[in-house]
Structure 1
């Protein structure tokens, strides 16, 4: 069977098990790039049962030497290819899973930076866009992903119960986030005095387009960092990490942090909080 046919079946399967649109889109881009590489290499249409492990090895080598992809990027491509061939094997499109014999790519874990309360305040003050100032405060005080934050609608906020309903976050999982005492007046003031009059029901919108993009938010943050003459790279995701790190420093239970971040496992949560893992080690040694 043609590789592109099995790819389409795989993407349909991902949709049937309720994987998020972002996840499916990412898989589609990765597998399309893989298919194009093979078609160029073999100069013909590609049949999945004719592929061997070396084809995957060659592709990863191409990504490194020709495309200049970093280890983390190549590891992501390999993860996609492995998921695809695992599906293909289970559904009997191939006799064996060739991706199993491909070596895992070693990715050095980068030290994640975290901003302090004072640094977040300086960052907010350096941002020129009033709505982005509020977005940054909400990201830092809730730990939401930027995509989740920008998809929050007015109907998702219950100021009386002080909760935000995060609809279909990563992995298509909904969750309720409590609105902290510190965030309540910020949101109330924004909704009452700062939110533009627009046809959009999104919490963060503009008159012109009715929405904000993650790219634009990160650009505003980057511009503010340059204005502050900071050497470190700060993104919307760093605010999520800062949220988690601050909670760990204040001895909040890791399981509670996991629930707030919407992680499926504590292992993932520990990645965001690893700068304070020494504190966690000290805690378990009390047993």
Structure 2
């Protein structure tokens, strides 16, 4: 791109960034979408508002051949939102990207495999973390974000906050997991987090006496 095109791209990029932010998109989504916009511009060395249908077909053919279907879908969504939010144009190129319908089953560890994983882990923190993640059916980040207040030992459930789709949910709490969490928490007695050593938040310098999970 020449100097004028580069300046126009920067202006469009900033407008797109502003629109995504105002529409409540997460920082991760904003980063992915704006990166996809920059990549298609770099591919053709032109501004996105100058792309033709043939160019978009060529670009997505390149993605289909060399990238994962998940990335193809992200690029499609990024360009679609750019056309709608910034250019004020309807997206007319969705049919050029059609992911194959493949149904797969996720690999699930058997009970013996989980027992072997935990038994071969020496540190108590890892043992309790793996047990919590598996027994509650959580994602890794969801386990790390658990707090003492999320554990309800009376109703025997755990409040999982901001999961997939930024949605909260409750999951059953096995008695074995509750006992393990209490045993591990007694080793660090953090006033808020269940797994403080792995969490980016800092410990508070001054805090009231902590309460045990549940």
> Scaled by the length of structure 2, what TM-score is found?
0.72
**Residues 134 and 190, structure 1, Cα contact 8 Å, conserved in 2:** yes
Look up the match of 1:123. 117
Instruction: Please say if residues 166 and 176 of structure 1, whose CA atoms lie closer than 8 Å, have aligned partners that are also in contact.
Output: yes
Paired residue for 1:4?
13
**Higher RCO structure (Cα 8 Å, ≥6 apart):** 1
Q: How does 1:166-205 map to 2 (within 5 A)?
A: 166-192=160-186, 194=187, 196-197=188-189, 201-205=192-196
Pairs aligned (count) = 191
Write the distance in 2 (CA, Å) between the matches of 1:184 and 1:35: 46
Shift in Å, 1:107: 6.0
Aligned counterparts of 1:86 and 1:59: Cα–Cα separation in 2: 14
| 1:99 to 1:40, Cα distance in 2 relative to 1, 3 A | same
Name the structure 2 match of 1:55: 55
Show the counterpart of 2:35: 33
Give deviations 1:246-265, integer Å, cap 9, x for gaps: xxxxxxxxxxxxxxxxxxxx
Going from structure 1 to structure 2, the CA distance change for 1:10 and 1:54 (only over 3 Å counts) comes to farther
TM-score (ref. length: structure 1):
0.56
| Structure 2 Cα separation of the partners of residues 94 and 123 of structure 1 | 53
| Alpha-carbon separation, structure 1, partners of 2:37 and 2:83 | 18
CA contact (8 A) 2:135 2:174 kept: yes
- Give the root-mean-square deviation of aligned CA atoms: 2.9
Taking the aligned partners of 1:117 and 1:35, their CA distance within structure 2 comes to: 44
Aligned to 1:254: none
SS in 2 for 1:56: helix
Cα offset, 1:150, TM superposition: 0.7
Larger Rg: 2
Distance 2:40 2:86 in 1: 21
Give, in angstroms, the shift of residue 116 of structure 1.
Answer: 1.6
> Residues 54 and 33 (structure 1 numbering): CA distance in 2 closer, same or farther, change over 3 Å?
farther
**How big is the shift at 1:124?**
0.7
Asked if 1:82 is matched to 2:76, the reply is yes
1:162 and 1:178 in contact (8 A); partners too: yes
Give the match's secondary structure for 2:98: coil
Counterparts in 2 of 1:105 and 1:39: CA distance versus 1, 3 Å: same
> Aligned with 1:165: secondary structure?
strand
Which residue does 1:157 correspond to in 2?
Answer: 151
SS of match in other structure, 2:196: coil
SS of corresponding position for 1:201: coil
Match of 1:216 in 2: none
Instruction: Give unmatched runs, 5+ long, in structure 1.
Output: 213-287
